[in-house]
Amino acid sequence: MRILLALDDSKYSVGATDALIAQAKTENTEVHVLHAVEPFPERLAEDMGSKDSPDFVAARLRQRERGKEMEAQAARKLRSAGFKVTSSVEEGDARDVILNHSETWRADLIMVSSHGRTGLDRFLMGSVSEAVARHARCSVEIVRTRSAR
């Protein structure tokens, strides 16, 4: 089985990683850990001067480095659990990156976490997990982690 584990920069991704370890058998399972670095809004780039301004470039670099750290941490955890793991960090809209990667890598299952947003917050932020579930050509598991309230 080929499982694409899509991570975002949230505590909920840890829950998705843990769910994968708890549910999947390590034998004959390949996991690809993927983190999508979302593009900065054009308005933010304009406020910082331009896309080429040192502040904007530094912020993009920090965002990419954080993605690499998260991806590497999840990959280490999965390897120590006995999984065969590959990983990558790609730039672009998370929905598109996940769906495109699942197609080219020929994933059998996509695992994503859910923030559990509702109402206006969900409308404004969008739901990556919902878009992936609607458009993926393979099975999708949305892992919802209960947060302390």
Higher pLDDT, 92 or 12: 92
Q: Residue 119 pLDDT > 90, yes or no?
A: no
Number of structural domains in the chain: 1
What's the pTM value of the predicted model, to 2 decimals? 0.83
Quick check: is 121 in a domain?
A: yes
Count CA within 13 A, CB hemisphere, residue 81: 21
The number of residues in the chain equals 149
- pLDDT tens-place string over residues 92-102: 999 999 999 99
Structural domain span for residue 111: 2-39+72-144
- pLDDT tens-place string over residues 34-54: 999 887 666 665 665 666 666
What CATH number did the domain enclosing 119 receive?
A: 3.40.50.620
Nearest to 83 by CA among 74, 91, 71, 94: 74
Quick check: is 51 in a domain?
A: no
Question: CA-to-CA distance for 93 and 86, rounded, in angstroms?
Answer: 21
The pLDDT of residue 35 is: 93
